[in-house]
Every structure is written in C-alpha cells, then in structure tokens.
Structure 1
Amino acid sequence: MTIDPITLTVIQSGLQQVCDEMDLSFSRAAFSPVIAEANDRSDGIYSATDGALIAQGSQGLPVFVGVMQYSTAKIIEMIGQGRILPPEEGDIYIVNDPYLGGTHLMDVRFAMPVYRNGEIFCWLSNTGHWPDTGGAVPGGFSASATAVEQEGLRLPPVKLFKKGAMDPEIYAIICSNIRVADQRIGDVKAQAAALYVGQSRLFRLLDRYGDDVVQAAIAELRHRAATQMRANVALIPPGEYRASAFIDSDGVVNEPLEIALKITADGAGLTFDFSGSSAPCAGPMNSVLATTHSSVYLAMRHIFPDVPISAGAFEPLTILRPTGTFLDAQYPRPVSGCAAEVSQRIAEAVFAALVEALPDRVTAAPAGSSGNFALGGEVPDEGRSYVMYQISGGGYGGYAGGDGISNGCSTIGISKAPPVEIMEQQFPVLYHRYALHEGSGGAGEHRGGFGLDYEVEIRKGTARASFVMDHGRFGPQGALGGGDGGVNRVEVKRNGETFVPEHLSKAQDISLTAGDRVRVRTPGGGGYGNPANRDPALVAEDVRLGRYTAEEAERLFGEG
C-alpha cells in the first residue's frame, strides 16, 4: 500500500501524540514526586508480533527506548511458549524483572494488548520509577548488595489487571513486600490509566484512517528511520574507533570497572564490541543486556537526534553480546546501578569513541550520574514513615558550538529534580543550599557546564540514607584537548562530624537523626577543545560570576 507524504506525516504525528498524552496523564495522576514532578517515566507503542518500538513519548526517558521494547518482546515470547497466561481484552501485565528486559527493580513496567476486531493490533507499555520495591534499604539503591534479592521484590510478567479490574491478590502480594505501600495505589492507578488514555487516543487515529492504512504507515516509518540512520552512519569514515570509560567502583570492591569499547564503521552500519570490559562485579553496578543495548541507542540518539524514534533507527546498529562482562548481567547479579549510572558510562564511551570522527556532532562527556539519593525514615510523633528519592542534574559537556549547559538532566532522560518546595512539603527535610557546583565545569575552548550543589537536613525523627552515584573518582571526560569535569562529592554531616563514604558516592544504610545533613555536589561536564583557545572575555565573565575563582581560571585557562 502506498501512502501519500501528508497522510504519512499526520499518522506519524498522531502516534507521537498518543504517547505524549500517555506521558502527561501518567505524571499528572501519579502521587510520587519522582513521577509527578521529576517525570521519571515513559510510555510507548509496540508491535503486536515482536514488540518492536513503534513510537515513544517525547517527554519519556530515552533509556527506556530499548528496555521497554525488549520487555514487551519477552512478554510476547513467554505467552507464545505458554509460560504466562495469554492475554484478554483489558488485561495489563506488570513486570520489573531486570533479566527480562528491565533496568533496576524500581522501574516497574505495565504492558497492555490493544485489541481491534478480536485481534491484538499492538501493545501499549509504560515504565514508572516506584520510590520503593522492598529490599535491604529504603528506595532500593543498595550500594552493597551482592544479589538481586537484596534490592527488592522481583516480579515476572503477571496480570495485575484482568479484563480491566485490578487483581486484589496480586496487589496484596506486592504491597506486603514494599515500604509505604499505602501510597502506591495512586501510582498504580495512574500508570494503568495512562495506558487506557493511550488506547482511547489510538482508537481515534485508527477510526479516522483505518487499521490497514495505519499499519502500512508504521511499516513505512520504520523503513524510513532505518534509511535515515544509515545515511547518518555513512558520515563516519570506515574504520575502528576505540575508547574507555570507568566506573569508580561497584560499591563492594573499591576498584574501578572499565567499559572498553571498539566501534567498527563500514559505511553502512556500526558494530559495537564491549568484550574487553571488566568481568561481572560483586556489587550493584552490573548492567543487564537490555540496558546495555538501550544505552547505545540513546547515545546514538544524542548524536543524531533528527532520526525518528522507532525500531528502524536501531537496525544499522549491531551490538555484540558482551558475554562474560559486567555489561551482560545474569541472575542473581545485583543491578540497581545499571540504568541510572552504568548506562550513562556506556554512552560516555560511545561519545569518546566517536568525537574525533564527528567533532561537530559529539560533545565532551556530560555529568553521567543521576545522583540517586534515597532516604527512608520514621517520624514517631506523627506516626508515619516515608521513602524519599532524590535525583539531581549535572553539567553537560562542551561542544563545537559552545559551552555545556549547567545542571542539566541526566544523559539517559529528561527527568528533572523535584522542586525543593515539594520535597519539603512531603518529607521532613529542609534544604539549606541549592546552587551551582562552582568550579566543576571542565576547562576547554568551550567549557563544560556546572553541576549542582545541594545540602539537605533531616528535621524530624530518624532516617537511613543510601547513595548509588558515580564519577566520584573520575570526572567526565574532556574531548579534543579539553579537561575533565569536576567529580561528584558526597559529604555526610552527622553528630557534628563530617565524613565522606569509602566508595565516595556510593554508600548504604547511613543512620541519621534530626539535625544531621547530607551535602551532594554533582559532576560538571567535560571541556571541549584546548583551554588556551578560550575567549579571555568568557573566562573573565565566569570569574566575575563566581563560577571559577581567579586562581582556578589562571590554572585552567591561563587567565586571571
């Protein structure tokens, strides 16, 4: 079937709008600030036959591009094998198993088949970051975990909703294994409602153009995305491109982990080989295969943002399975750091490998850490408990066109830190500082952006703090002669004393009481180009604004 360009464009925009409305519905109805304010969620449309990505919301986390495709495909595969109950109209499956196309256990996916004329037309799927799914520490970010069971409740694909009604027994099992369970009902209903909104909007599109026309448009859009990505990849001269990126430690063994990447370009596609990377690690910085793949996809999306999001965009990209490395985690390896931290280091390796081949498109390394800070506490006077999850931004890398942005969202998504006012309203905390991490931008002709500097105090009761962050030992890489960005700094001020965790930005179960404080200074982005070539007026402006001291400017740029 031939579709005219105008109709094709309208259907493409219509599919995108379906996903965008799911995103907005999810955030506006959710109870948890990490979803409602930080937008740590994503929604998409997937093929009925193989789970391939058809469209994803523009406001969803890019790291979920690959993982939701992978998890939807697994559900379809398991249904075909008779391993899980087959779907009926109105059913919604819930799954967070990392080894079945997931990330960490707190990223919970819902998947719903959409029926037309008695047949599944497509699947709608979404992911939301739940503040807690049980495990050894509140929030699930167990920096010292050595098995996935220590990180929380692991759910295989099961029907949470059956024919449109929530199964109270499945929900009771979930609530019996997580903290502050009474608050999850708001997120669960918001997540399901987003899928129902998507189905309603999709039906409007199908009723307008017809199922066959929309299916033909989907196939054509996938073909065009593949063609467009191949054209972009052809800009890279044939050859091999190598780079490494390092993770500070795994949280258990205080030694760096290496991501060793070789990219082979042949003019028509790219092959990514991570086989030289470190072996599986004891702690939670292992990455499951779906997250490793998705990390490569999102890195290429950063480099070639003009390519529409669909499975076709991935076709020219071959990722060799990194068997025997920490980038192909197998049960029971812990994985709480894979989505928020390891994924960003994979992207950093991709940027570092390709920046010389594509200097006008690739940036120096961004902050590359989501700043995962979980706080679980009790307020006895009020008879309540809570789990607070804080994400934070960092500096972006400099690039050919200018300086990196400051306090930008993480490489893997568009999530923003929840407003301080919301956090102070919902949790017994007080923010004493929320400012730029001055001096953290890597030096370069175009300097890196600056990270975030915040300090939070526990006001009531007792609490337990956990961190799974990175770039505390090594700052984000500079590019083409630029300097590295500033490192992540975590300080705990307890009982009048200040200490830094052994693993710098990773620790768990730190006991806190009212009056204790935590200060976090996130990484700045890497610098781009020789710092000596920076415009002296720009250096002077940074000094005037307090971004660098005069001494730092002299040392980094040769200017006072």
Structure 2
Amino acid sequence: MSSLDPVLLEILGNKFASVTEEMCLTLQRTGRTLYVKETADFACALAGLDGRFFAYPRSIGVSGFVGLECLPAIEAVIATQGALEPGDVILTNDPYRSTGLATHLPDLHMIEPYFHDGEIVAYGWCFVHCSDVGGRVASSISPVNTEIFQEGLRIPPVKLMRRGEMSPEVKLFLDANSRTPEANMGDIRAMLASLATGRRRVAQMLGQHGASELTAAQEALMSYAAGKAEAVLRQMPEGRYSFADYLDDDAASRLPVRVAVTIEIKDGKVHLDFTGTDPQVATAMNIPSCGRPHAWLTLRMLALVQTLDRSAPLNAGLLRPLSITTPLGSLVNPEEPAATGVRHAAAIRVNDILNGAFGIALPDVLPAAASGTVIPIVMSEPKPTGGRMVQVIEPLIGGTGARRGHDGVDGRDSGISNLANNPVETVEAELGVEVLHYALRADSGGAGQWRGGCGMELSFRVLTDGSHVLGRGMERLLFRPWGQAGGQPGQPGSLVINEGHPRERRLGKIDVLEVQAGDIVTFRTPGAGGWGDPMQRAPEAVLADVEAGFVTAERARRDYGVALTDGRIDTEATAALRSAAGTSTGTVFGPERDTWDGVFAPALMDRLNAALLALPLSRRQSRRREIFETVLADLPTNFPRSPVSDTQREAAARRLETCLNTI
C-alpha cells in the first residue's frame, strides 16, 4: 500500500474522477452526432504509465470499459513511429492491432500522453462510436459480415496528432473511407477537445500537488480498489460454479451459439474459465479479447463488487483479483481476421452467464436474466444532394432482471453501458421518420414474486423512399431471458413490418432492411426474467402493475393467479386460482431452451466444443455445421420452438453421440 495520507488519497481520487467527468461533458457538448450528443456512446478516462485506467467516470458515457488496456497501442506506436512527444495523440480502431483496446471498427480510440518536465505522468483516453467508417454496409456494422475486412477502415495505432498538428495523411484516409466524413470529423475534434480538457486539469493538479504525489496516487488508488475487491470475494462461498446460455443463432444459420463459464472463487480471488464456449463464428459476434481479462468478459464482476461495497472506487484495480481462461479460437477469443462488429451481442450473453454463475454462489443477491439485448436501430436514407445520411434512431434495450426483494427496472438496463435514449423530437428533426409509438411493452417482463423489467416497443413510419434500417444486436428472439428461484422468463423480442396490414412481414435478425416511404417498422425488445414463485407476489402489487400498464388483466389472472373484477381484486377467485396452481422453483429457462437442452445436453456440448477446438481453424465451422445438420435432420424445421417426442429426442441425442465419436 502507498504511504500517501489516506485523506489526501481520497481527495486526489475525487479530483481525478472529476477530471474524467469534465472530459466526458466536454466531449458530449461539442460532439456532432446523435451517438455523442444524445446516446452518449463514448467514454473518457485517465490511464497510468501501465496503460490501465486509474480514474473513470461513474455516471456519464459507456460504463463497461474500465478494464481496457492502452499500453499495447502505445507500445505499437513507439515501435513504429518513434517516441511520444507533447502534443501527440494516438488513434486506433483495430481490435487486433490494439490488442483489444478497440473492439469493433466504428469505435475510434484516442490516447494522449500528459507530460510534466519532459516526462509522461499519465495518459488521457477517450473513445467515440462513429456513424460510419466504411465497409460493406452503412454504419459499418452487420451481423453477417464474415471477416473484419468487410467492416470498414482498419486503423492500426497511429499518430493522428504530431506535436499538436493533425496529420493530413491520416485525415485524408479517414475522410475517404466514410459515408459521413463531416460528422466523423466533428466527433473527432470533440474527442481532441476532451483530451485537451484532461490535459489542462491534470496540469492544474500537478501545480497543486506535484508529480510525485500524483503518480504515487495512481497506483495507490488501484491497490485500494484491489483490496476492496478481494474483501468482497472473501465474503462469497468458495467453490466452482458453472452456467451456460445461448445466442439465438450466428445470423447466418439457425444454429444457436453457446457461451459457457465456470467460475472458481478461492481466497479472495476469482478465476473465469470460458472453456465450453463455442468456437468463433463466421459472422460478426466474436469478442476480440486477445486472451486478456477483457472489459467485455469481466464487467459483471465489477458490478458485483460495487454492489456489495459501494465505497469501492471505479478503476482497473477492481480486476486485479481476477484471472481468466479464454480458449484461443473461441467466440470469446477469436483469431484474426474474425469479424467483431456485433461483439456486444455476445458480451451481453457473457454478462448473463456470469450473472447465472455468481447467482449460484449468491442466490439472494444476483438477479434473474436481464432482457439480454441492445439494438442500436440505425436509419440510412438518401440525401437530396447525393450520398446518404446515417444516424441512430434509438439504442433500444429492455429491462433488468428481478432479484430477491426488488422488481426489475422497466425499459432500462445499464448492464454493459449507460447509453441514453434519443428524444423523439430530435430523431424526427434529423431523420425522415415519424415515431408512432415509443413505450414500455406490457406483459413482457417475466412473472415472479418480484417481476422482471418490461421491454420496449418502438414503431415508426418511414418517410423517404430507398431508406435502409439496420437493427444490429437483435437477440432473445428465441431463447428467453431466464427467471430465477421459480420466476418466469421474459417474453422474447420481435420485428414486424406493416403490422396488421396486407403487406405485413414478421422478421428475425436483419442485415440491411430496405424500406419505402409509408412502411411502418415495429421493434419489440424482450422483457427480463422474474424472481420467485409468481403465486407469492402480493395481489396488491399485481393490481398496481395492471393499473400502470405493465401487466394486462388477462395475464394477471394467468401468470399470477390474481382475478380482477371492475378494477378490484376478487379475493375469493384469487384464492381459488392460487390454490390450484403448482409451485415454481429453480432457474426457469423457458420451453425453447428446455427443448434444446433435451437433445444438446450440457455435457455433450462441452465434449463437442473441446473436439471442435482441437481441429484446425479452417475446419471448425464447416464440421460444426455438418454435425448439427446430421443431428437436426429428423427434427421439425422450427425446432426448438416446437416440442419433440421422446423418440425424436432420443434419436437425435444418439446421432450427436455418434458424431462426437467420429470427429
């Protein structure tokens, strides 16, 4: 531990945090696009000489990137372009060449060294999600991209700024590889302004406290956070806890994608082992962790520590008690050039499985599954003067899972970020859409003694011919957000075009959906899982949900056994309904997952993935597809949405066993 006075350390910690928050406010107020001004898809932080964040804002911007590392990108620039000087700023968006600092190409990351008396004393960092960096589709992200080269301009760590002057060559490349160069450059200049804000504020702190105290405080703050995390872990029961969940599919086939983890808690430490997770997919859902304890794989632990000890500072020290195993070539540690554009869909499922595994250890603390999706709904429309406008309509999400003693939060889920919604007025002013309905989705939250949070419903009319809608990250259309302790799963999501009209179309995941003026597009996000037996929910709470529009009277009767007459509880009918109902316990995945597991049992899936990862990378996906085609051959085409007979299930399981013996 540091010899710094504890009071001074507390003061410096708060000052550092305030610097990062002012950097974020500068970025948001000077940003150009809705991604920055409204959605807040950005972040800022201060990194120490080891490249890890010792100060991070709590309440503005993306909350999940505390565990990112800047040092590999810094070292890459020094190795190829020489030492860093005052006024230099590093730019990168390449997941592989930045060793996981960037995680998909639209995220532009900048790093500026902060100097004092000729020596670097800290680094300022920021990132922004850009509207478009080229690639196959507008906004650069598509779930069906098969390699990173389709996803846009790759920027290895380079000096965007040299001694305070922007590199004209780098700017030319940026402008030439975007459908929205002016908007991008507006956000880039806002990033530079945020870094300048950090530089000035750190300089003021140096004048007040001196370089030695500030550099000592960086390590002391992270050591303090690490001690807090270890103390929390020591309160948890030691042991090994496993959990698995699925992405609906890989966006190129109907085959679900498995994500699995085993956590081991021992002596104030935790190890996360993702063995059993599927091999990397040939689409864009891979998480480029580069084998490190990456932010996308560790966020749930940060949330758990800060839930159980709210005095813990938010910095990378919280992750020091954590180690990780991520099999090379798996979904959570893909090999280049795997596509990564929709990595957040897999990251959300990682959040879910960590929630499930830690929930075995702490069943009264951890919640049921959240809605399990974040859908940045993007509109691309032609401009009258040529080219296309690309903007996000809404970063559509669902609710949070219920936990013992608390209902889930409706329509909000900060599980992986603090993204805000865009005001309808702003959306309609900047895009050719008319928002018809934007509200919570009734009956979507899983029933329980404590109810899961409701999902969202967004319906808009397209006003411009030749427009394109992209809804990347669509998930939980098949496998529902699971309930806990007998709570029921949330309802799955959906996408409908022209609902109730002769031209109605019900769709699954989309790549680029072409729409015309007059088309009505309706997205519905999943609700979250409930906690506890629904028949134990207070009838008065059910009535309040009906009055608020969260639950319909019909579902109050069916799911909660609460009968309502003329807006009041019918006590006798409610007692009769509840006495006839069964008892619900344990984790409730829903019928689709139960049907799937009946054929693809967890132990068999562990064996399958171990065998596939032993194959050469070029053979894994094709062999996996062959095996699933063989196993599913005699099952209904809509499996697992429809149940199968015992005979069908047993025959399919035997075919899987045979395949496993011949890999």
Global fold match (TM > 0.5) = yes
Identity of aligned residues (%): 31
What's 1:140 paired with?
Answer: 140
What's 1:520 paired with?
Answer: 523
The answer to whether structure 1 residue 493 and structure 2 residue 494 are counterparts is no
Q: Distance in 1 between matches of 2:476 and 2:207?
A: 50
Q: Distance in 1 between matches of 2:383 and 2:200?
A: 43
2:397 aligned to 382, 388, 393, which one? Answer: 393
What's 1:321 paired with?
Answer: 326
1:483 aligned to 480, 488, 493, which one? Answer: 488
Q: Any conservation in 1 of the 2:131–2:180 contact (CA below 8 Å)?
A: no
1:77: how far off? Answer: 2.7
What's 1:348 paired with?
Answer: 352
The structure-2 alpha-carbon separation of the partners of 1:387 and 1:538, relative to structure 1 and needing over 3 Å to count, comes to same
Q: Any conservation in 1 of the 2:289–2:333 contact (CA below 8 Å)?
A: yes
Aligned to 1:123, the other structure's residue is in SS state strand
What's 2:186 paired with?
Answer: 186
What's 2:369 paired with?
Answer: 365
Q: Which one has more relative contact order, counting CA pairs under 8 Å at least 6 apart?
A: 1
1:544: how far off? Answer: 2.7
What's 2:469 paired with?
Answer: 465
What whole-Å deviation, never above 9, does each CA across 1:182-217 have from its counterpart, x for those lacking one? 222211100110000011011111211111112222
Aligned to 1:289, the other structure's residue is in SS state coil
Q: Distance in 1 between matches of 2:314 and 2:115?
A: 24
1:25-424 equivalences under 5 Å are 25-48=26-49, 50-58=50-58, 59-67=60-68, 69=69, 72-79=70-77, 82-99=79-96, 100=98, 101=100, 102-289=102-289, 293-305=294-306, 306=310, 307-338=312-343, 340-380=344-384, 383=386, 385-389=388-392, 390-424=394-428
1:510: how far off? Answer: 1.5
Q: Distance in 1 between matches of 2:67 and 2:7?
A: 29
Normalising to structure 2: TM-score of the pair?
Answer: 0.80
What amino acid maps onto 1:75 in structure 2? A
Aligned to 2:80, the other structure's residue is in SS state coil
1:499-510 equivalences under 5 Å are 499-501=505-507, 504=508, 506-510=509-513
What's 2:430 paired with?
Answer: 426
Q: Distance in 2 between matches of 1:316 and 1:250?
A: 33
Q: Distance in 2 between matches of 1:38 and 1:131?
A: 12
1:410: how far off? Answer: 4.0
What whole-Å deviation, never above 9, does each CA across 1:85-114 have from its counterpart, x for those lacking one? 432111111101022212121111011111
Aligned to 1:450, the other structure's residue is in SS state coil
What whole-Å deviation, never above 9, does each CA across 1:126-171 have from its counterpart, x for those lacking one? 1111111111111122121111111111110111111112122211
Normalising to structure 1: TM-score of the pair?
Answer: 0.95
Query: 5+ residue gaps in structure 2?
Result: 564-663
Q: Distance in 2 between matches of 1:431 and 1:559?
A: 35
1:285: how far off? Answer: 1.0
Q: Any conservation in 1 of the 2:90–2:110 contact (CA below 8 Å)?
A: yes
1:237: how far off? Answer: 0.8
What amino acid maps onto 2:24 in structure 1? D
Between 1:350-359 and 1:275-284, the stretch displaced more is 350-359
Query: 5+ residue gaps in structure 1?
Result: none
Aligned to 2:418, the other structure's residue is in SS state coil
What amino acid maps onto 2:7 in structure 1? I
What's 2:651 paired with?
Answer: none
The answer to whether structure 1 residue 23 and structure 2 residue 24 are counterparts is yes
* RMSD, aligned α-carbons: 1.7
What whole-Å deviation, never above 9, does each CA across 1:33-83 have from its counterpart, x for those lacking one? 1111111100011122x212211122231222223x2xx121233245x23
What's 2:562 paired with?
Answer: 559
1:445: how far off? Answer: 1.0
The structure-2 alpha-carbon separation of the partners of 1:496 and 1:121, relative to structure 1 and needing over 3 Å to count, comes to farther
Q: Distance in 2 between matches of 1:472 and 1:342?
A: 14
1:251: how far off? Answer: 1.0
What amino acid maps onto 1:333 in structure 2? A
What's 1:443 paired with?
Answer: 447
Q: Distance in 2 between matches of 1:423 and 1:410?
A: 22
Aligned to 1:114, the other structure's residue is in SS state strand
Q: Any conservation in 2 of the 1:379–1:462 contact (CA below 8 Å)?
A: no
- Runs of 4+, deviation exceeding 6 Å: none
- Total equivalences in the alignment: 550
1:177: how far off? Answer: 0.8
Between 1:22-31 and 1:290-299, the stretch displaced more is 290-299
Aligned to 1:66, the other structure's residue is in SS state coil
The structure-2 alpha-carbon separation of the partners of 1:378 and 1:31, relative to structure 1 and needing over 3 Å to count, comes to same
Aligned to 2:136, the other structure's residue is in SS state coil
What's 2:652 paired with?
Answer: none
Aligned to 2:268, the other structure's residue is in SS state coil
Q: Any conservation in 1 of the 2:67–2:319 contact (CA below 8 Å)?
A: no
